[in-house]
Amino acid sequence: MPNDITSRIRTLSEQFFPEMVRLRRTIHEHPELAFEEVRTAALVAETLEQLGIEVKRGVAKTGVLATVKGKQGGKIVALRSDMDALPIQEATGLPFASKNPGKMHACGHDSHTAIGLGAAMILNELRKEFRGEVRFLFQPSEERNPGGAPFMIEDGALDGVSEIYGLHVLSQADAGTVGFCAGEMMASADELYITIKGKSGHGARPQHTVDPIVTAAQVILGLQTLVSRNLDPFSHGVITIGSIHAGFAPNIIPNEVKLVGTLRSMSREWRAFAHTRIKEIVNGICGSAGAEADIHIDLGYPVLVNGERETALAEASARELFGADHVFKAERLMGAEDFAYYLEKVPGTFYRLGIRNESEGITADIHNDHFTIDESAMKAGAAMQAYLAVQSLNRD
């Protein structure tokens, strides 16, 4: 690899930065929810086609695949960008704020898409510098379970792919810094739907009823032992009941109580164990009270596990491209990401891109109606994705 490849990539990221800003702001102004990304996908496809890049539309309904081919021979490396927005009313007051009421790019997917396009522009200029192919996955629906990733996979997005890389903006890190974490990085996320069925009656004569509210209270407390008494203290897991619905009057014991919650785990094995244990705890407590339970566990995203080798390559690439002072160790999070589906199929890594700028007041966290980014971070994001692809393709 030429010694000047890093400087060339940095120069190209500067060159294409104004276009990345324009694309990001256009997407931000017209946010689209999961599997509704028609306008966004068209913008992505048209931008790539104008560069002479091979494009496939309509993947996983509203997704786009694109391929930049280098020299003959070599493998295929994939770079993923997600495109969907959130059902949030924007309150940033930006001149390019959302024009779609109740919809907002509050998780940075507009910048992810612009970064992916920027990386494609860079690599399109560097075709003679790498062997093999770079496949760009512009994915719909990361924000809504089951996510767009499994549908992209079904439609052939990973066919022939050897490695995959993706990034996500991070509000807690300064703009232009990048963070990495090998192994388990993000949790699985399952939704719990529990209905406890009792026998209704007068609140003054509880002896003639089976009180599902009291039973539900015991169930909620009992489920906390799933983590406190069934999980290794050095491991990570969370169970939360976030919704309780029951009753309609102060003096009536209702027929049933509905509980809704979430289960998070960093272990595939403990996740499976927890599903069984939840049913045992709920059915055991309900049985002792004379109540019955309907339990449904809606499987969400799996545990996101970054490859050791691929993460090491990414971190080393970042140090070469930006310097050690711009690289940090990313924290493990109990949040979930459907990039995990790709990593179940091929090795790769998912890393963080800092977008914070306190002096400019850019500090709001994701999924917040005031969220925005320091757009200069997109230069680093596009350069990192492009350089990582080149490094991965040329190392073998």
143, 310, 375, 387: which one is catalytic? 375
Check: CB of residue 243 under 8 Å from CB of residue 162. no
Distances (CA, A) of 107 to 117, 204, 395: 18, 50, 33
DSSP 129-185: G-EEEEEEEEES-SSSTT-SHHHHHHTTTTTTEEEEEEEEEEEEEETT-EEE--EEE
Q: What CA–CA distance (Å, rounded) separates 8 from 144? A: 38
Check: CB of residue 1 under 8 Å from CB of residue 129. yes
Active site residue 375: yes
Active site residue 49: no
Q: What CA–CA distance (Å, rounded) separates 355 from 368? A: 15
Check: CB of residue 347 under 8 Å from CB of residue 66. no
The distance in angstroms from the start CA to the end CA of the chain is 12
165, 301, 351, 387: which one is catalytic? 301
Strand order in the sheet with 292-298: 237-246, 256-265, 188-197, 292-298
Q: Write out the catalytic residue numbers.
A: 301, 375
